[in-house]
Structure 1
Amino acid sequence: MFKAGERKANIVSRTAAESSYVSGLKYPVPLNFYDKPPLFDITIEEFETCALDRLRILAEIESSAARNRTWEELTKVISAQCEKYMPLKDNSSMTDIHGQRRRDHLSHFVLRLAFCRSEDLRKRYIKAETQLFKIRYEECSHADKEAFLNSRDFGCLSVSTEEKEKYREQLLSVYFSPRSEAAREAAREAAREAAFEKEKYLKVRWARVPDLVEKRRVFLHGGWAYVPGLDQSSIVFQEFESKLDKALETTARLLPRLDEDERLVPVLENLAQGFLTGVPSEWIAENGAQVSGEELKAESIDELAKNHYPLCMKTIHDRLRRDQHLKHFGRLQYGLFLKVLGLSVEEAVVFWRKSFKRITDDKFNKEYRYNIRHLYGLEGKRANYPAKNCLQILTSGNTTDCGCPYRTFTPENLNTALLSAYAPLGLKASDLTEITQTVKNSHFHVACTRVFEITHASYGVKKGEAIGGESVTHPNQYASGSRELWKKVHGGGDLDMAEVT
């Protein structure tokens, strides 16, 4: 493959990095190509929780792509998510870097098991993981980055001074082609020559850097791509993506061996479902079944639904008011939502009794009061049931009565429902194109998040900010976030938002 006189080259000089490379550590640097599976004992709880933490980060990467965030915005959001759920400090940190890198290693391989089972999952996982690696690579310290690069052979060839001079004009024309006004200024002859003399080139087979070829940022000759120093990270990223692709195919072939383990299969299936729907079930993981606000009164529910509900709960509430009744799953979903929102069991009985106007007191007491108390853990096995999150709603089989409207409604019905529910809160017909396009791409929670941003713009919420910078993953998160914004700006109770919109 290599011509006489050519030599393999690392992306940076080995001697420059050896001083920073921490020897004796299982994870000497924060960056990882995940070549070897984790060979240590773990609990089922650790198996699931660290995978969920990583899933939250990857789901936010997908959400950011659907929302057309810029690279700077993506980096800011994901860095915050990583710091919150899966920090990965460099070697200068005094924190438990081994524990952090161990969790990173484990979580990657757990999600490999979850997402190797279909081509669609593999593609989405590779894309999200590659983006995560790019962000970490760019934020990695210079010393740790050099140590990582020199710990691997990327199969590059160094370009000799003679070869560089031979293709001087071609290399100059590619690398120093004007990319912006600033670049045009910097491309003056003297500056060009000086920069070119300092530049170090590597060459790889052109198929290794398709992104640079597509953008015409490399000189191609004889099947080789001549890559300048500025763009050599592309070699690393492409190598990461290629190796992960092959590893996932291998994992998929070995996956049937796990079928006998009843402990792992349900966990992996749940992780895969969460990634398919784009929802990591984050809010409920932090809030559980706990009440998220002060106690509500039954008579305030109508105003609350008008001003602070996500579309799924608005739809159920409107159906309840229209039919004066809800089927079992509708009562279950809405009842738990109200419980977590702050409706006490006593007020819940009052609310449901007034809502079911067509039935007698005797029938209500016999058929409904027990179920209401059961939701609050006061009857039956006395469990403290949590409200359903977006993932559970999206994957529920009972979508007709209480599913996600962004998924179950036709485009025409969805547009009508959105304008009816949110036009008084600031949603315009011109906003529907963006929302329906997001729905068309199956990013249902992103569409819901965008509606939240539009209807709360008057409270300072900007596009891409959502609720505290995170996408909507739970109906109660939406309602609680809306109420908190109202109270922060206006104070007091839940008044009519439309009055100030």
Structure 2
Amino acid sequence: MFRTQKKRVSERTNFGKEIVRDQDYPDRLNFYATPPLSEITIDEFEEWAIDRLRVLNEIETCLYKNRGVKTMEQAIRPVLDKYLPMAPNPSVASRGAKSSQLDEERKKDHCSHFILRLAFCRSEELRHRFIKSETTLFRLRYTTADIAEQHALLTRYDFGWTPVSETEKRELGESLSFASDYNPNVNESYFKVPFERVPELVEARKVYIEDGIAYVPESQQLALILTEFSDRLSRALEITARALPRLDEDDRLLPILKHLSSGFVGPEYNPDYADGENEAGIVRAAQVDSLVQHFPLCMSTLHAALRRDQHLKYHGRMQYGLFLKGIGLTVEEALIFWRQSFAKFTDDKFAKDYRYNIRHNYGLEGSRKNYKPYSCQQILSDNAPTGNEYHGCPFRHFSEDNLVHAVEGLGVADKTVLRSIREDVRNKHFHVACTRVFEATHKSPGVKSTVGVGPGMESITHPNLYYDRSLRFAKQVSEVENADASAVAD
């Protein structure tokens, strides 16, 4: 599975049986019944899985926030189009030109699903989260597919549904009408299935039940399909979990799978400043204090401790120093910033104990590795802070009362928001809680935030993303205020 091959290569045999090394993808709807046979590179293995995980993380955030179906679709669609696009089948006239692109998109979708199966089969909690998010993703794709694709799905898989004959439908006409919200479609087809396979429809009283059999109208078949999808995926994950020990000796894949199974995305940080001074990546040491207003709580906590104690321990220096590097502090300015911050130490002490580590983070000493700012996942999985340490994630490591006090210090006074943050933390949705803080502290008439608010907005998964968006938001607010002032002056 680590070397890309051309389509439909079948040069190997297994006990005399030809092995087809690639699959056809006639449409977008996939129950993932057959594992991928094509070979991919290690880079594709990790990149495709992370892209899919970005989508599933956004779905999970929407589910946790109890967003409606339409609002959720609006929020997920831009993320899905960016990281896991799945174009519909082209018209006959343009089929040849786009077939290669479609195959690559669907191959990525197919492979990434099975990669995440390996990552999320490890525990009951991970399996539950994966099934819920994948089922929601399938629902979005099914509801946006055309009739031909939906029909192709039903003919490709045997769901074991029993059609209701016209005679039986006439005999049960009044009962079926009562169960269909008093608005029956006389021409609608019905299927018979065991009632336990459609719990949502039973709960909503949208089906007629007799002798343990639910009579499901065709208009409600999506619920049946989603139940089939989630049940099959659940069984497949259990089988995968039993087979997982076979990978114990593969030191190429296990670190990747362990990273993915954390449930967070830890992407490499790439600045996305719109324009202005920071577009050049330059921040002066003297500017840092004025920029703290744009820092996430984890970094503002470290900054406050640094200013108070004139010192940070190793893990705090690493976390905060790489964050400052990410916002544009050059190595020269970093040396100035840390020297001024560690004012209680002599020049010799600073040069001996700290200068090397600062230059090392910039790839100028030792192995010459150019370290990247920590993502939320790295911060959450790193060593927890102990006495006189201030690194880590406040949403995970602070007590609830201390966390609420710290959030209130950022200007969040809405009791509903504070209560929601408490619930997020109790449910270990730390990135959701951080995104909620961003939402509450970045509101202005006429300006839309680009994180966590409204359709298509991604949750906070990186402290530098928080900073970037906050800085951009402040600039947009300033532009609106300047435009209003000019209008009044005119």
Alpha-carbon deviations, 1:10-40, whole Å to 9, x = none? xxxxxxxxxxxxxx97111111111111112
> Residue 175 of structure 2 aligns to a residue in which SS?
helix
Which residue, out of 120, 124, 129, partners 2:129? 124
1:357 aligns with 2:346: no
1:443 aligns with 2:429: yes
Q: Report what 2:275 is aligned to.
A: none
Q: Report what 1:485 is aligned to.
A: 473
Residues 157, 203 of structure 1: 8 Å contact kept: yes
C-alpha spacing 1:55/1:480, structure 2 compared with 1 (3 Å): same
* Structure 1 unpaired stretches of 5+: 1-23, 178-191, 493-501
Amino acid at match of 2:86: L
1:469 aligns with 2:474: no
Q: How does 1:196-235 map to 2 (within 5 A)?
A: 196-235=185-224
**1:444: how far off?**
0.4
Q: Which aligned segments of 4 or more residues in structure 1 are displaced greater than 2 angstroms?
A: 284-288, 291-294, 398-401, 426-431, 459-464
TM-score computed with the length of structure 1 as normaliser: 0.84
**1:428: how far off?**
3.6
Q: Percent identity?
A: 48
Residues 295, 467 of structure 2: 8 Å contact kept: yes
* Structure 2 unpaired stretches of 5+: 1-21, 92-96, 273-277, 481-490
> Residue 26 of structure 1 aligns to a residue in which SS?
coil
C-alpha spacing 1:102/1:285, structure 2 compared with 1 (3 Å): farther
Amino acid at match of 2:437: V
Q: Report what 1:176 is aligned to.
A: 181
C-alpha spacing 1:363/1:286, structure 2 compared with 1 (3 Å): closer
Q: Report what 2:8 is aligned to.
A: none
C-alpha spacing 1:342/1:287, structure 2 compared with 1 (3 Å): closer
Q: Distance in 2 between matches of 1:44 and 1:220?
A: 51
Q: Report what 1:152 is aligned to.
A: 157
Q: Distance in 2 between matches of 1:285 and 1:312?
A: 17
C-alpha spacing 1:63/1:27, structure 2 compared with 1 (3 Å): same
Amino acid at match of 2:257: L
Q: Distance in 2 between matches of 1:238 and 1:450?
A: 32
Q: Report what 2:260 is aligned to.
A: 271
Which residue, out of 132, 136, 143, partners 1:138? 143
**1:79: how far off?**
1.8
Deviates most, 361-370 or 404-413: 361-370
Q: Report what 2:285 is aligned to.
A: 298
Which one scores higher on RCO, CA 8 angstroms, separation ≥ 6?
A: 1
Deviates most, 196-205 or 246-255: 196-205
Q: Report what 2:484 is aligned to.
A: none
Q: Report what 2:305 is aligned to.
A: 319
Alpha-carbon deviations, 1:49-102, whole Å to 9, x = none? 111111111111111122222211111122211110111112126531111111
1:407 aligns with 2:396: yes
Residues 63, 446 of structure 1: 8 Å contact kept: yes
Aligned residues: 442
Q: Distance in 2 between matches of 1:333 and 1:464?
A: 24
> Residue 193 of structure 2 aligns to a residue in which SS?
strand
Which residue, out of 313, 316, 324, partners 1:338? 324
**1:172: how far off?**
0.7
**1:286: how far off?**
4.5
Residues 75, 454 of structure 2: 8 Å contact kept: no
1:379 aligns with 2:377: no
Amino acid at match of 1:331: R
Amino acid at match of 2:122: R
Alpha-carbon deviations, 1:136-194, whole Å to 9, x = none? 111112211111211121111111111111111111111024xxxxxxxxxxxxxx5xx
Which residue, out of 96, 119, 131, partners 1:114? 119
Residues 449, 466 of structure 1: 8 Å contact kept: no
Residues 90, 144 of structure 1: 8 Å contact kept: no
Residues 23, 37 of structure 2: 8 Å contact kept: no
When the two chains are superposed, the root-mean-square deviation of aligned CA atoms in Å is 2.1
Q: Distance in 1 between matches of 2:314 and 2:229?
A: 49
Amino acid at match of 1:145: Q
Q: Distance in 1 between matches of 2:74 and 2:142?
A: 14
Q: How does 1:390-405 map to 2 (within 5 A)?
A: 390-400=376-386, 401=389, 402-405=391-394
Q: Distance in 2 between matches of 1:280 and 1:292?
A: 25
Residues 393, 403 of structure 1: 8 Å contact kept: yes
Which residue, out of 246, 266, 273, partners 1:281? 266
Q: Distance in 2 between matches of 1:246 and 1:451?
A: 38
Residues 435, 459 of structure 2: 8 Å contact kept: yes
Alpha-carbon deviations, 1:439-485, whole Å to 9, x = none? 11111001100111110112634795279711001001001110111
> Residue 378 of structure 1 aligns to a residue in which SS?
coil
C-alpha spacing 1:311/1:467, structure 2 compared with 1 (3 Å): farther
**1:432: how far off?**
0.9
